[in-house]
Structure 1
Amino acid sequence: MSQSHSFDLESRLETREEGGLRRDLTPADRVGPEGRFAPDPQGSLPSYGPRELVFAANDYLGLAGDDRVRDAAERVARDVGTGAGASRLVTGDTGPHRSLERSLAATKRVDRALVFSSGYAANVGTIAALDPAVVFSDEYNHASVVDGCRLSRAETVVYDHCDPADLRRKLDACDVDGPWLVVTDSVFSMDGDVAPLSEICDAAEEHGAWVMVDEAHATGLYEDGGGIVQRDGLDDRVQVQMGTLSKALASQGGYVAGSDALVEHLLNTARSFVFSTGLAPPAAAAAREALRVASETDRADRLWSHVARLREGLTEMGYELWGTTQILPVVVGDRGDALDLADAVRERGVVAPAIRPPTVPEGTSRLRVAPMATHTDEDVEMCLRAFREAGREVGLL
């Protein structure tokens, strides 16, 4: 009897279920500060429940439902089309792509920008295309950075989270010939903290290494629509600025910004760019309009006001909060406690899911609270009330 070479996916799913790691999709009826959700219908249509407040999304400026952004996408859908139709190196390079890239380059204060079909594609494609001999990567970098390091086949050296002293030690100890790349997120999505970019640049410059910064959770929220690189005045010290269009810019896609030579190299060698259909033109138009709103209005001020109120209120209750940004991790510690708290908060009409290992280290399970600029003051107070009552109910306060 021949040996079976089939895939036993049912067993794999059972193993995930037993370890508390199996996840389901949760359909939503809309993207915004509130929505209706449904249990995973798998192959069927969803049946939505009551409306709930959403404090879990990355649409930080609340622009996904903004009429200006939607109108921009609608105009381009009518005039250009709903999809690019081909790789941008074939026939898929349209006016909306070029307009968005010029706006991104101006915001990021560099020569040029290049738009990819996703932030994930931008990271994996860029790191692999740079073909570094060695990559020094923060231990909490996003999965797309980790996969980019793997695809590059470079020697990867992981340094302690947000620790420029450890980075310097590992740079000093490295004897690999060839180009070196230091990669870090600017804002870390689970801890809500910010990388010490100036000190990281100092360490990299001592060894002639390049610095690449992932601004996914910072783009649009700082200095005229820029990120931490712009806030800290490091435009001329960070050789590769990467970000997404799918968070504060309320669209889809990713970008890389830097020198003319960098962009020319990537559009010729980044496989995730060369062999992918171009970003949908309406998505490019939506992102450009969202960037304009972010850079020309005080939209972000409303977000930071909500952040301050939530941080103050949750801390006064006795919760432990980490970070310094719009991402507010309410750290509980125990996996079961975090799940119980998330369920109790949800029962009070507020969506703030539990984040637990392996996404975060053991003993640091948390609820990740992320407000939007479009939440009202009343929404914020309802969120605080839900956390107060839920914390008492499950014995955490």
Structure 2
Amino acid sequence: MTDHGFDPAARLRDREANDLRRDLAPAERVAARSRIATDPQNEPPTFDGDELSIFAANNYLGLADHERVQAAATEAAREVGTGAGASRLVTGDTPAHRALERELAETRRTERALAFSSGYAANVGTIAALNPDVIFSDELNHASIVDGCRLAGAETVVYDHCDPADLRRKMGERNRSGSVEESWLVVTDSVFSMDGDVAPLSAICDAVEEFGAWLMVDEAHATGLYTAGGGVVQREGLSDRVHVQLGTLSKALASQGGYVAGSQPLVEHLVNAARSFVFSTGLAPPAAGAAREALRVARESDRRDRLWSNVERLREGLEATGFEVWGDTQILPVIVGDRSATMALDECLREHGVLAPGIRPPTVPEGTSRIRVAPMATHTDEEIDRCLDAFRTAGRELDLV
């Protein structure tokens, strides 16, 4: 009999053979230190052994266990409920959502903001709802942007990473060959999650404006870390030149969800046309409450300064040890090159009490395997020193430095 089914076990074996198999590793808590369990499959995780210093989280400001943020989540659950209960177009639109969106819009210096159930949903929903004829996308944009381009069904032109000259050249080529009535959308991350570098947004704005296109910037890894809790767009003073500002609530804002900020007509259009918003239950009110309070803490406290101080100490120490460190943000890619050596360093760091993940192809290009180090504002001087000591010891044991 013909078999039209699937064989997940065979697919897993193929991944194993190609050294691409991943496993879950539950953390006991979200903090600068935690115990990590091996993948328990369908059993409860068992946490034993010592705590590890966590240099792997996107909880950049260390707000996931902040008492004000936790209290805000509790209050939203008590006042509104633990879940939105429906799409926000039905009964799932609550005061918690609207309060969060008002403060996001104020921070992003836009007319309005809209919260989605995740940053991924915000990206795919927004790009598809804009329905551009042509999308110009940075070659290292996040997977959610790539999938948004696919869902939009638009012709996608990939330009060289962080290269506004190549963007301008490709827009010029399209301008000569395409229809004058085409709608164009340029999409870029502001901070790139694997290389830790920053898009040259001012120069990209210049190119976009030259051709009358629209610009969408994903601030997932920048939200909350710059001017008054904003992102790179705010740091560079470009709020009035970026048509669509997008980000996540699950990294520096220590919650869950995503958002889009822009003009009133843009947001109203998304409310009606973004399928990942229209046909999805609204963001859980406790997540909205937590994100709103985290944004306030980010704007009012010295946590951003403490984060950047930790970043500087780590970068200087890693480079002094002999490691090559890319980027210029809170994401510190320690380049090893060989994938086997990278995963050996990952394991050796764990043995010395530090969790910092090895990243290998296909996530990054062949020959650029790396350890992705992500410090938090809540890491103490002792924990930074522990991380540097672990890298020194592991690097020498593996003959990498």
Cα displacement (A) at 1:222? 0.1
Residue in structure 2 matching 1:387, options 388, 391, 394 = 391
Q: Quick check: 1:212–1:242 contact (8 Å CA) kept in 2?
A: yes
Question: 2: CA distance between counterparts of 1:206 and 1:162?
Answer: 18
Q: Quick check: 1:133–1:176 contact (8 Å CA) kept in 2?
A: no
Match of 2:108 in 1: 108
Identity value in percent: 71
Question: 1: CA distance between counterparts of 2:45 and 2:9?
Answer: 24
- Does structure 1 residue 90 correspond to structure 2 residue 90? yes
Match of 2:15 in 1: 16
Question: 2: CA distance between counterparts of 1:159 and 1:228?
Answer: 21
Secondary structure class of the residue paired with 1:213:
strand
Question: 2: CA distance between counterparts of 1:73 and 1:120?
Answer: 22
Q: Quick check: 1:189–1:327 contact (8 Å CA) kept in 2?
A: yes
Match of 2:27 in 1: 28
One-letter amino acid matched to 1:176: G
Question: 2: CA distance between counterparts of 1:146 and 1:191?
Answer: 17
Runs of 4+, deviation exceeding 2 Å: none
Cα displacement (A) at 1:296? 1.3
Match of 2:192 in 1: 188
Post-superposition CA distance 1:25-60 (Å, at most 9, x none): 001110010101111010111111321100000000
Residue in structure 2 matching 1:308, options 283, 308, 312 = 312
Question: 1: CA distance between counterparts of 2:252 and 2:178?
Answer: 38
Question: 2: CA distance between counterparts of 1:302 and 1:383?
Answer: 17
- Does structure 1 residue 376 correspond to structure 2 residue 380? yes
Match of 1:139 in 2: 139
Question: 1: CA distance between counterparts of 2:106 and 2:87?
Answer: 25
Match of 1:212 in 2: 216
Match of 2:290 in 1: 286
Post-superposition CA distance 1:98-156 (Å, at most 9, x none): 00000000000000000000000000000000000000000000000000000000000
Question: 2: CA distance between counterparts of 1:372 and 1:229?
Answer: 22
Cα displacement (A) at 1:338? 0.5
Secondary structure class of the residue paired with 2:361:
coil
* Runs (5+) with no aligned partner, structure 2: none
Q: Quick check: 1:55–1:369 contact (8 Å CA) kept in 2?
A: yes
Residue in structure 2 matching 1:251, options 252, 255, 258 = 255
Secondary structure class of the residue paired with 1:187:
coil
Cα displacement (A) at 1:10? 1.2
Secondary structure class of the residue paired with 2:34:
strand
Question: 1: CA distance between counterparts of 2:69 and 2:102?
Answer: 18
User: For this pair of structures, how many residues does the alignment match?
Assistant: 396
One-letter amino acid matched to 1:165: A
Cα displacement (A) at 1:90? 0.4
Question: 2: CA distance between counterparts of 1:59 and 1:141?
Answer: 21
Question: 2: CA distance between counterparts of 1:303 and 1:362?
Answer: 31
Q: Quick check: 1:303–1:373 contact (8 Å CA) kept in 2?
A: yes
Secondary structure class of the residue paired with 1:329:
strand
Where in structure 2 are the equivalents of 1:1-397 lying within 5 Å?
2-49=1-48, 50-174=50-174, 175-177=177-179, 178-397=182-401
Question: 1: CA distance between counterparts of 2:55 and 2:133?
Answer: 41
Question: 1: CA distance between counterparts of 2:211 and 2:39?
Answer: 51
Question: 1: CA distance between counterparts of 2:367 and 2:356?
Answer: 19
Secondary structure class of the residue paired with 1:168:
helix
Secondary structure class of the residue paired with 1:144:
helix
Q: CA RMSD in A?
A: 0.6
Secondary structure class of the residue paired with 2:58:
coil
Secondary structure class of the residue paired with 1:183:
strand
One-letter amino acid matched to 2:296: R
Question: 2: CA distance between counterparts of 1:27 and 1:166?
Answer: 42
Cα displacement (A) at 1:11? 1.0
Post-superposition CA distance 1:71-91 (Å, at most 9, x none): 001011111100000000000
Q: Quick check: 1:355–1:368 contact (8 Å CA) kept in 2?
A: yes
Cα displacement (A) at 1:297? 1.4
Post-superposition CA distance 1:269-325 (Å, at most 9, x none): 000000000000010000000000001111100000000000000001110000000
Question: 2: CA distance between counterparts of 1:9 and 1:76?
Answer: 41
Q: Quick check: 1:134–1:176 contact (8 Å CA) kept in 2?
A: no
TM-score by length of 1: 0.99
